[in-house]
Chain A
């Protein structure tokens, strides 16, 4: 039953593919030659499994032309390839993360008004930056403190506006440099 199923499947695929490719052929005197070659493959598709089934002990030349990639072997190779890739990614992702956090902190600290930054990143499988969490400690020099004292009557509005401005700038810088969307960047303000 398996032999018949294999023959039918092979024949179907060969005939569909070859008749489609034949449509693309130019109408010329070469066409019969191509048809002949296709016919040979159809013969092989029928002969090879039948001969292998009937004559178990013999090794026919025709089977050389019916080489198929073993699905199990292919899957095993793919699986081990994926495992190796995962191992490489895992061993490197810690290093990538550390470097990226350092880079991002160094860049974010350049934004005016930022005193210190603590960056936490989450990295994708291929080492790409997925999410970014920034803990920003705002910088307050004497002049700003004085200004705050003056504006103390109007509550916390000034510092809110400042934080908004800092947030906007950081989002812009991170978006431009790392291609991150604003929803993937979380910014928290601490102290100051």
Chain B
């Protein structure tokens, strides 16, 4: 079972982190980063299969392909942003974490902006006068 491996790894990492945070905080941040990367890599294959299923479903339903492409991009930005922000918070750098979140929000807004403009313009066209 994969979850047992992950739980085991998480417990070991947590114990190491408890010790390292007192003695060498820099190493603790590095260990936390390595753990996050390992989990991310382990789940990458499964995430890819979920995305493949979603893509196939939307193709079969004849769904607008901009939808899935944009949503997946937005999700990717959100994930990476959160990932980096949490690591920064772990290292005690709240300000940097906030900046990363801010950047992720702006990028998502930029992606959604053309859709919003298109909707608004269409509605404006319908308005009399």
Residues of A that sit less than 8 Å from B by CB: 9-10, 13-14, 17-18, 20-21, 24-26, 28-31, 33-34, 36-38, 40-41, 43-45, 47, 51, 55, 58, 60-62, 64-69, 71
Q: Is the pair A60, B64 in contact by a Cβ cutoff of 8 Å? A: no
Complex: chain A residue closest to B82, CB-CB? A26
Q: Is the pair A21, B101 in contact by a Cβ cutoff of 8 Å? A: no
For chain B, give the interface size range.
Answer: 35 or more
Q: Is the pair A61, B122 in contact by a Cβ cutoff of 8 Å? A: yes
Q: Is the pair A36, B63 in contact by a Cβ cutoff of 8 Å? A: no
Specify which chain A residues have a CB less than 8 angstroms from the CB of B54 in the assembled complex. 17, 20-21
Q: Is the pair B68, A34 in contact by a Cβ cutoff of 8 Å? A: no
Q: Is the pair B68, A62 in contact by a Cβ cutoff of 8 Å? A: no
Specify which chain B residues have a CB less than 8 angstroms from the CB of A69 in the assembled complex. 59, 62, 65
Instruction: Provide the B81-94 mask, 1 if CB < 8 A to any CB of A, else 0.
Output: 11101100000000
Q: Does B11 contact A (CB under 8 A)?
A: no
A interface, over-half SS: helix
Task: Tell me, in angstroms, the Cα distance from A170 to B63 when the chains sit together.
Answer: 55
Complex: chain B residue closest to A36, CB-CB? B112
Q: Is the pair A30, B105 in contact by a Cβ cutoff of 8 Å? A: yes
Specify which chain A residues have a CB less than 8 angstroms from the CB of B41 in the assembled complex. none
B window 84-124: CB within 8 A of A: 85-86, 101, 104-105, 108-109, 111-112, 114-119, 121-122
Instruction: Provide the B45-89 mask, 1 if CB < 8 A to any CB of A, else 0.
Output: 001001000100111011111111011101101110111011000
Task: Tell me, in angstroms, the Cα distance from A68 to B101 when the chains sit together.
Answer: 33
Q: Does B23 contact A (CB under 8 A)?
A: no
Complex: chain B residue closest to A64, CB-CB? B118
Specify which chain B residues have a CB less than 8 angstroms from the CB of A51 in the assembled complex. 122, 126
Given contacts A18-B71, A25-B79, A41-B70, contact A34 B63 (CB under 8 A): no
Q: Which 3 A-B pairs have the closest CB atoms?
A: A26-B82, A62-B122, A61-B118
Complex: chain A residue closest to B98, CB-CB? A29
